[in-house]
Amino acid sequence: MFHRNMTFCSSGNELQLTGVLDDCLCDIESIDDFNTFKIFPKIQKLQERDYFRYYKVNLKRPCPFWADDGHCSIKDCHVEPCPESKIPVGIKAGSANKYSKAANNSKELEDCEQANKLGAVNSTLSNQSKEAFIDWARYDDSQDHFCELDDERSPDAQYVDLLLNPERYTGYKGPSAWRVWNSIYEENCFKPRSVYRPLNPLAPSRGGDDGESFYTWLEGLCLEKRVFYKLISGLHASINLHLCANYLLEETWGKPRWGPNVKEFTRRFDPAETKGEGPRRLKNLYFLYLIELRALSKVAPYFERAVVDLYTGNGHEDAESKALLLDIFRDTKSFHMHFDEKSMFAGDKKGAKSLKEEFRLHFKNISRIMDCVGCDKCRLWGKLQTQGLGTALKILFSEKEIQSLPENSPSKGFQLTRQEIVALVNAFGRLSTSIKELQNFKVLLQQTR
């Protein structure tokens, strides 16, 4: 249910989302200001650094839960390799590393992005970058995860430049997309089949219920299971916000124009359009932001050690990247209304341990469902954001191990792979962008009055 101090109003096309969030002592206005003036500008810069822009992912893993129904029908929802004429000479030259990354990331990559239409993933990388990734792999270690990690040694795993493949509307929708989210909510959110989510087309008609019975059930759950649902709902809301904010508005003569789509935003989040569900989704977005913000503040000691480098082989850039990351950590620590994760799994030790493992396995299962997404670009960002959240959860439940890390040597008790670090930062960057985009939609709605 809504906290009595929270309001959402779209009367006269004006969007207002204010008040205190449930299950934590934090208000939306404080998060908006903190994100706008401290986090968003810095996290944007950090995501542009080489260490964080390249993400290794396997987009060819088969769906483990149902027969693959093929990729989305949109012709460019699959990976569209660059024509040979567009591939930088440095990559064609194989191991001959004669060309700088700057040379390979110029006009050719811009042309390559244009060649990759809606939903396609651009896998163009410079030869120097490829060689650096081999070195990065030596810095990684394995750990028990909240996510099903891709095998980076698989021949199907490839590095993707996230800056060349922004998350945006691809047109992927319909039964295939609905099946993915339905599986996530219906089979992995601790929900009995007799309880129906609001706006679920399979739900029987319940008159004027409008989902109130679902939220009555949700409020009756223990904190941990309630948090789990809010995290998934918040992630779903964030993804929908990105699609609304980076929408294909028109395409003339092969030149697409991307931008915010107010009509699409209203359809997905307006109280009248969603029977009151939209405000709850946005509230869960803020809750998810707080969870990942808390994880960043908790993991700071891991990165503050001299032994940890954001290694790319470029010493000057590596030092600048780490300095920027540590600056962001200082900001996260300065926020005074964090979610208190100590309130979770705080019962008797045996029951708490069992619940925590159930929590972990449910989330791990959701990460596997991302291999069932039919659009490659959607799959890329779905896998990255679930892995980022999974890494955040791993951090929050490893506080003792992080506090006891040795200063000048690697720790066997807690370790993050480069893949997890990249996912964590970019996933939080996506949430920060969502909060910022929400502010923009508020302004756009006021302008359309």
Q: Is 233 annotated as a binding residue?
A: yes
The catalytic residue among 82, 147, 189, 375 is 375
CA gap 122, 109 in Å, rounded: 9
The catalytic residue among 26, 72, 112, 378 is 378
Q: Is 268 annotated as a binding residue?
A: yes
3-state secondary structure the chain: CCCCCCEEECHHHCCEEECECCCCCCEHHHHHHHHHHHHHHHHHHHHCCHHHHEEEEECCCCCCCCCCCCCCCCCCCCCCCCCHHHCCHHHHCCCCCCCCHHHHCCHHHHHHHHHCCCCCCCCCCCHHHHHHHHHHHCCCCCCCCCCCCCCCCCCCEEEEEHHHCCCCCCCCCCHHHHHHHHHHHHHHCCCCCCCCCCCCCCCCCCCCCCCHHHHHHHHCCCHHHHHHHHHHHHHHHHHHHHHHHCEEEEEECCEEEEECCHHHHHHHHCHHHHCCHHHHHHHHHHHHHHHHHHHHHHHHHHHHCCCCCCCCCCHHHHHHHHHHHHHHHHHHHHCCCCCCHHHCCCCCHHHHHHHHHHHHHHHHHHHHHHHHCCCHHHHHHHHHHHHHHHHHHHHHCCHHHHHCCCCCCCCCCCCCCHHHHHHHHHHHHHHHHHHHHHHHHHHHHHHCC
Is 378 annotated in the active site? Answer: yes
Q: Is 360 annotated as a binding residue?
A: no
Is 112 annotated in the active site? Answer: no
Q: Is 181 annotated as a binding residue?
A: yes
Q: Is 236 annotated as a binding residue?
A: yes
Q: Is 49 annotated as a binding residue?
A: no
Q: Which residues are catalytic?
A: 375, 378
Binding residues for FAD: 168, 170, 181, 233, 236, 268
Binding site: what residues are annotated? 168, 170, 181, 233, 236, 268
